[in-house]
């Protein structure tokens, strides 16, 4: 028995180092997206007009889910480059690809729009889409932040190019990009402009970047010293001395070849080690957003119907409690009614309740709706007893006691009814958050994948950020 267990454990920890878990992560992400698409896509019985309006309202989210799945199927890693103007962003991408595809130049703002080029690294099997962007200080204010956010969200890996000591604007941009929760390589470009000593000094300063303040501490998680590389993407021409056979000496300008070897190696090692998992995780994070948004819209669209259902259950519950003379059954019956209401709502919204125990949900609701529901339980006990006593006494057919029975029954029914109403309201919020927690829901798969990654991977450091989850009951 023990033997089997430890054998199992050693097997699973062994497989984590190979490429198998990457494929497993990848496949699980695909399954999750497929499930989401089939769940939320227009149903076969979508003939009613209402269904059509709903589908139209969810177009955007469905498109996101679909394109995310397509991207996953193609297996292309997206890598975006960011930095201030003229740091050599376009030059770095050209050097990686080995061709001068993207225009570069000494003027600020050569690149005006994001643009992408394909790169097939020589060793890896993976295809990479490189995305060039305009300098972050080139576009003004909100538009810049929006561009950076959009591009970063779609990327699996980010390159941030600096060309020397980091400026305040650069530090701020780094912190902003960090919020996209993507792994980041800091590229120190134009090293040909610095003598060796200065170069090392700047490199050390860049390494210090994460250390220090609490803000820095968080930056460090995304930017370990190992993810800082030095390159010269488009080295400036150097003057060389040429000695001729006839002893003449002339000076000529020669352009050294680009040197981005460090960066290339870094990228390749990340891709080989965790490229597929990064791809999977990125897709899942996007799916999680889309699914939560679908839930929000569904709940909004069906507001009226939901109110009707909640009201109906409220009435049943109130009636049931009022007519039922036995105290304990009130509490039990009330609970059953609340659970039935939650189920009815999840059916109405078309949101999955799988893997999600309605009982837990109810407990959660009980605590969050606090006062009202406790009052309901309390009143069931106290008024219920009074009611039972009154019922027993009513055998004597005294009209005053009968009035007492009716009085406590109505009060209790009112409170119980309000309880059901509160349950309905809270259930809406909870269903919206909980829809991604099914067995193949993105939140669940994200958590599974992150629990398996090695401690020396980028994903491991991203873990805290990516695991952010809605409160679970
Ligand atoms: N000395 C030196 N110059 C470089 C290097 N890389 C790029 N440059 C020069 O820096 C200038 C800007 O390069 P780009 O690649 O256009 O910079 P960018 O960051 O894309 O600039 P924008 O698109 O304007 O934001 C060009 O004149 C390049 O020749 C390098 O490694 N060493
Ligand atoms: Mg450029």
Question: What would the pLDDT profile of 158-205 be if each residue is shown by its tens digit?
Answer: 999 999 999 988 988 888 888 888 888 999 999 999 999 999 999 998
Does residue 25 surpass a pLDDT of 70? Answer: yes
Q: CA–CA separation, 472 vs 444, rounded Å?
A: 12
Question: DSSP characters for 333-363?
Answer: HHHHHHHHHHHHHHHHHT---TT--HHHHHH
| 253: DSSP letter | E
CA nearest neighbour of 283 among 40, 468, 464, 26: 26
CA 165 to chain centre: 32
- Please classify residue 124 by burial: count the beta carbons closer than 10 Å to its beta carbon, then call 0-12 exposed, 13-18 middle and 19+ buried: middle
Measured from the alpha carbon of residue 136, the closest ligand is 1
Contact residues of ligand 1, CB 6 A cut-off: 83, 85-91, 104-106, 108-111, 134-135, 138, 189-190, 192-193, 232-236
Range with the poorest average pLDDT among 116-120, 142-146, 256-260, 385-389: 385-389
CA nearest neighbour of 189 among 169, 170, 211, 176: 170
Range with the poorest average pLDDT among 105-114, 210-219, 224-233, 384-393: 384-393
Q: CA–CA separation, 256 vs 274, rounded Å?
A: 33
Measured from the alpha carbon of residue 107, the closest ligand is 1
pLDDT-derived band of residue 455, with 50, 70 and 90 as boundaries? confident
* Strand partners for 243: 249
* Strand partners for 228: 186
Mutate to test the pocket of ligand 1, among 85, 148, 234, 253 (most ligand atoms within 8 A of CB): 234
Q: CA–CA separation, 82 vs 183, rounded Å?
A: 13
CA nearest neighbour of 114 among 88, 91, 92, 81: 81
Which atom of ligand 1 lies at the shortest distance from residue 193's CA? 1
The token duo for 367 is 């605590």
Which atom of ligand 1 lies at the shortest distance from residue 85's CA? 25
Query: Residues 152, 80: contact at Cβ < 8 Å?
Result: yes
Tell me what the mean pLDDT of segment 410-425 comes to. 61
Cα distance from N-terminal residue to C-terminal residue, the chain: 33
Name the residue at shortest CA distance from atom 21 of ligand 1: 86
The DSSP element (H or E) to which 242 belongs, if any, is strand 238-243
Measured in Å, residue 109 CA sits from the centre of ligand 1 at 10
Using the structure block, give the residue that is written with the tokens 């909870």.
Answer: 430
Measured in Å, residue 87 CA sits from the centre of ligand 1 at 5
Mutate to test the pocket of ligand 1, among 94, 97, 104 (most ligand atoms within 8 A of CB): 104
Name the residue at shortest CA distance from atom 10 of ligand 1: 88
Q: Tell me the Ramachandran region of residue 420: left when phi exceeds 0, alpha when psi lies from -120 to 50, beta otherwise.
A: alpha
Tell me what the mean pLDDT of segment 124-146 comes to. 82
Q: Look at the alpha carbons of 159, 161, 166, 172 in this order and tell me if their dihedral is positive or negative.
A: negative
Measured in Å, residue 81 CA sits from the centre of ligand 2 at 10
SS3 (DSSP) at 9: helix
Does residue 221 surpass a pLDDT of 80? Answer: no
How confident is the prediction for the chain on average, in pLDDT? 76
**pLDDT attached to residue 218:** 57
Topology annotation, domain 77-259: Rossmann fold (3.40.50)
Name the residue at shortest CA distance from atom 4 of ligand 1: 234
The token duo for 64 is 């996101």
Which atom of ligand 1 lies at the shortest distance from residue 103's CA? 16
Q: Which residues contact 39 (CB under 8 A, 6 or more apart)?
A: 350, 352
SS3 (DSSP) at 136: coil
Tell me what the mean pLDDT of segment 61-65 comes to. 88
pTM of the model: 0.73
Measured in Å, residue 187 CA sits from the centre of ligand 1 at 13
Which atom of ligand 1 lies at the shortest distance from residue 91's CA? 15
Name the residue at shortest CA distance from atom 11 of ligand 1: 106
Query: Residues 188, 203: contact at Cβ < 8 Å?
Result: yes
Measured in Å, residue 275 CA sits from the centre of ligand 1 at 28
Name the residue at shortest CA distance from atom 12 of ligand 1: 86
429-456: buried (b, 16+ CB within 10 Å) or exposed (e) per residue?
Answer: ebbbbbbbbbebbbbbbbbebbeebeee
Measured from the alpha carbon of residue 82, the closest ligand is 1
Range with the poorest average pLDDT among 121-125, 404-408, 433-437: 404-408
Which atom of ligand 1 lies at the shortest distance from residue 106's CA? 27
Query: Residues 115, 145: contact at Cβ < 8 Å?
Result: no
């Amino acid at each position: 028995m023990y033997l089997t267990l430890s054998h199992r454990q050693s097997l699973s920890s062994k497989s984590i180092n190979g490429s198998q878990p990457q494929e497993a992560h990848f496949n699980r992400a695909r399954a999750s997206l497929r499930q989401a698409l089939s769940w939320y896509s227009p149903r076969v019985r979508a003939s009613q007009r209402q269904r059509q309006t709903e589908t139209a309202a969810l177009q955007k989210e469905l498109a996101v889910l679909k394109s995310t799945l397509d991207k996953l199927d193609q297996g292309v890693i997206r890598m975006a480059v960011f930095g201030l103007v003229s740091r050599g962003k376009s030059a770095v991408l050209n050097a990686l690809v080995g061709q001068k595809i993207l225009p570069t130049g000494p003027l600020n703002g050569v690149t005006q729009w994001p643009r992408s080029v394909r790169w097939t690294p020589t060793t890896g099997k993976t295809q990479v889409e490189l995305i060039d962007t305009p300098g972050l200080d080139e576009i003004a204010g909100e538009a810049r932040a929006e561009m950076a956010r959009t591009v970063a969200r779609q990327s699996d890996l980010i390159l941030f190019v600096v060309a020397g000591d980091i400026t305040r604007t650069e530090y701020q941009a780094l912190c902003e990009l960090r919020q996209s929760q993507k792994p980041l390589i800091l590229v120190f470009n134009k090293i040909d402009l610095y003598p060796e000593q200065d170069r090392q000094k700047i490199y050390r300063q860049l390494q210090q970047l994460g250390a220090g303040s609490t803000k820095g501490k968080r930056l460090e998680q995304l930017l370990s010293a190992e993810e800082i590389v030095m390159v010269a993407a488009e080295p400036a021409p150097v003057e060389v001395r040429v000695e001729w056979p006839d002893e003449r000496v002339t000076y000529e300008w020669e352009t050294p070849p680009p040197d981005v070897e460090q960066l290339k190696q870094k990228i390749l090692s990340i891709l080989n080690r965790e490229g597929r998992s990064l791809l999977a995780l990125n897709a899942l994070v996007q799916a999680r957003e889309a699914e939560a948004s679908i839930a929000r819209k569904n709940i909004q669209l069906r507001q009226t119907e939901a109110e009707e259902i909640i009201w109906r259950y409220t009435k049943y519950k109130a009636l049931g409690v009022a007519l039922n003379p036995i105290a304990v059954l009130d509490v039990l019956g009330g609970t059953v009614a609340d659970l039935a209401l939650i189920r009815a709502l999840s059916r109405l919204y078309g949101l999955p309740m799988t893997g999600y125990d309605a009982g837990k949900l109810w407990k959660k609701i009980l605590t969050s709706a606090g006062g009202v529901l406790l009052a309901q339980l309390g009143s069931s006990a106290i008024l219920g007893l009074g009611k039972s006593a009154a019922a027993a006494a009513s055998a004597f057919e005294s009209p005053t006691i009968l009035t007492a029975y009716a009085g406590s029954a109505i009060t209790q029914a009112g409170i119980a009814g309000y309880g059901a109403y509160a349950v309905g309201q809270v259930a809406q919020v909870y269903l919206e958050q909980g829809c991604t927690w099914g067995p193949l829901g993105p939140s669940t798969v994200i958590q599974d994948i992150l629990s398996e990654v090695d401690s020396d991977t980028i994903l491991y450091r991203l873990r805290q950020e990516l695991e952010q989850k809605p409160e679970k009951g």
